[in-house]
Amino acid sequence: MFAFAGLWRPGEGGPFMAFLTCEANTIVGEVHPKAMPVMLRPGDVSTWLDSTRENACALARPFEDTLMQRVG
């Protein structure tokens, strides 16, 4: 399980949302070498939402290859 790290802010005409990207890990890099979404493990979600800026920014790193598997 994981969540994408994202940003939200209100705006005229509705909210603005975006998810963050980082350098691709090895598995994602085989398909999309430029970047991948910042994926948060369940234990990191509260840090992303409620911690200091520095702690949240430290989570913006490639997801561990060992926690993913190739499909197909």
pTM over 0.75: yes
pLDDT tens track for 58-68: 999 999 999 99
Phi, psi of 37 (to 5 degrees): -65, 150
What is the average pLDDT across 1-16? 94
Provide, for the chain, the percentages of residues in helix, strand and coil under a 3-state DSSP scheme, each rounded to the nearest 5. 30, 20, 50
